[in-house]
């Protein structure tokens, strides 16, 4: 029974380590958001807002000011950026891609692990957009 306990502990710790340390392949995550309409999804959110290069630069700065968030790939100058935001305690990664497309910014925020993000990505994107609108 004692061996089973330690095996379970080892499996759980290994899983947590994988969540924290798993590599993020830009080819998988830095892709066209394909936003056709605003959508709230079980594991993320899609938004489309009016904005050009100036709005993209401002949003980029706002996103990078978010704790535990960094660029995975791209840049505003390239027209697409994917960011990784990690949860505070467990380090779960969420990916947000922002793309400038014909005078509009497309945002696609989604989780990597699990079935539902419990609205975390929607809330994060809404905070970013409210800060952007305050600046404009």
* Residue matched to tokens 């999804």: 41
Domains in the chain, ordered, with CATH? 25-135 (3.30.310.80)
Cα–Cα distance measured from residue 5 to residue 132, given in angstroms and rounded to the nearest whole number: 50
Cα–Cα distance measured from residue 19 to residue 92, given in angstroms and rounded to the nearest whole number: 6
Which pLDDT value is given to residue 7?
87
pLDDT tens digits, residue range 87-136? Answer: 988 889 999 999 999 999 999 999 998 888 999 999 999 999 999 999 76
Residue 30's contacts (CB-CB under 8 Å, 6 or more residues apart) are 72, 73, 74, 80, 81, 82, 97
User: Which tokens in the block code for residue 122?
Assistant: 């929607």
User: Which tokens in the block code for residue 16?
Assistant: 């947590």
Q: In sequence order, which ranges of the chain are alpha helices (DSSP H)?
A: 2-21, 26-29, 53-64, 120-135
pLDDT tens digits, residue range 2-31? Answer: 888 888 888 888 877 777 778 899 999 999
């Amino acid at each position: 029974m004692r061996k089973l306990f330690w095996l379970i502990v080892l499996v759980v710790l290994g899983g947590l380590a994988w969540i924290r340390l798993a590599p993020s392949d830009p080819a998988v995550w830095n892709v066209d958001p394909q936003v056709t309409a605003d959508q709230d999804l079980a594991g993320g959110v899609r938004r489309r807002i009016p904005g050009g290069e100036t709005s993209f630069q401002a949003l980029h700065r706002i996103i990078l000011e978010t704790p535990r968030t960094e660029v995975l790939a791209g840049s505003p100058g390239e027209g697409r950026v994917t960011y990784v935001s990690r949860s505070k305690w467990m380090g779960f990664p969420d990916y947000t891609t922002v793309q400038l497309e014909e005078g509009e910014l497309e945002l696609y925020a989604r989780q990597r692990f699990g079935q539902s993000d419990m609205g975390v990505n929607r809330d994060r994107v809404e905070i970013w957009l409210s800060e952007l609108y305050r600046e404009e």
